[in-house]
Amino acid sequence: MADLSFTLTPQYVINITHEMGNGAGFTIVAGIATNDGASKDHYGDPLATTTELTALLEANLFDKERRFVENETSDFFYDSAAVSGDFAPDDQTGGTGFWLKIVGSSNTTFNPQVGTSYTLVANDNDKVVTLDNSSAIILTVPTGLGLQYRVTLIQLGTGQVTVTADGTTLNSLLGFIKIAGQNGVAGLLVTATNTFTLAGDLVA
């Protein structure tokens, strides 16, 4: 005789399991038939800010869960095995489990900087950082920016921008690390943990 059971998972997904007498059966998860019970719907409710994102309890998150964050106009997904990323849950344990921003959004976000120094932050991922000053500008690339990090740099002013590493490895063609001049553009892309490639309008 067949048994029919209902299970509510910690991720609020309803599993309906139908077991046959011969051991065969199937599982329906959130209305999608699978043979392993894995949910194919990883989207959670949208959030207003990244503060709300990091406030989600690690114990209630599942691997590759995805959330849209309104003030970032972008999706983030949770990688339970990641050792670095854009944001960590406030109650993170063991140093693993990070939210990673999904790059490639059609919306361009600018971060205008007018000082003579600026250190990149995780929130600059997939943004355009403009640097505008008449004096020389130092842009620093620190550790911990995440494994999907990329940023576009534009020198708007006459002050030349020099990109420097702080605990990171910075690679570029011929070792050039300065933007060539006013309105010059450079791209910075992570290639491995704390390792970046700089390319664009560069000079020695």
Q: What is the pLDDT of residues 57-97, one digit of tens each?
A: 998 898 889 999 888 878 888 988 888 888 899 999 888 99
Alpha carbons 36 and 50: distance in angstroms, whole number:
33
pLDDT digits (tens, 9 = 90+) for 153-179: 999 999 999 999 999 999 999 999 999
Residues of the chain with CATH 2.60.120: 110-203
Q: Provide the pLDDT for residue 109.
A: 86
pTM of the shown model: 0.53
Write out the E strands in the chain: 3-8, 14-19, 25-29, 32-34, 66-69, 74-79, 98-101, 110-113, 117-119, 128-131, 137-141, 150-155, 161-165, 169-172, 178-179, 185-192, 195-200, 202-203
Q: Is CATH 3.30.950 the right assignment for the domain spanning 110-203?
A: no
